Structure 1
Amino acid sequence: THVSENEIDRNDAIAVYPNPATTNINISVQPDVIKLAHYKLYNIRGRTVLEGNMAGNSERIIDLQGIAFGVYILELNSEKQRFIRKITKI
């Protein structure tokens, strides 16, 4: 399978850590890829449990203390791109 340079850049456009997480996660966004973005955290049933906005070249700390342990899907939507990451709260 061939992976283009654009796909590699796209995968590196955001970083989500730590994963698994206990109390919070950090979302780091590259400004040259994303200017503004909206994020949603979904539980495995598809219900939105957290959401918010963030700017490129920024880091957002999301507090997970109010949600149950388990697997979640983080969706980050910008004007032109969409990123999906699996998050585990332990």
Structure 2
Amino acid sequence: MKIISIVAVGFILLLLLVMDKKQIQKLMERFSVFWFRLAFAFLILFAMNVAGGFIGLYVPVNIASGLLLAVLGIPGFATICAFALFL
């Protein structure tokens, strides 16, 4: 496990050395957009869980549903609503 983490960190550092400044900025912008979407997805999941609690629906707030909502957006929202309704 220790060797794998050292190799991964070395690989990432090597990639950063090979990339130019514009590519690094674009990569960091994509990471920041993804983390914002993930945080907003958890906010939406929490609101769905609170609102669903009033009518007896349970919406799971976990990393899988957060990633689903962050990556897919509105179709992910519909999927989570369908899971909460039919399961």
Band the TM-score falls in, shorter-chain normalisation: under 0.3
Rg larger for = 2
Larger helix proportion of the pair: 2
> Which protein, 1 or 2, shows the higher relative CO under an 8 Å CA cutoff with sep ≥ 6?
1
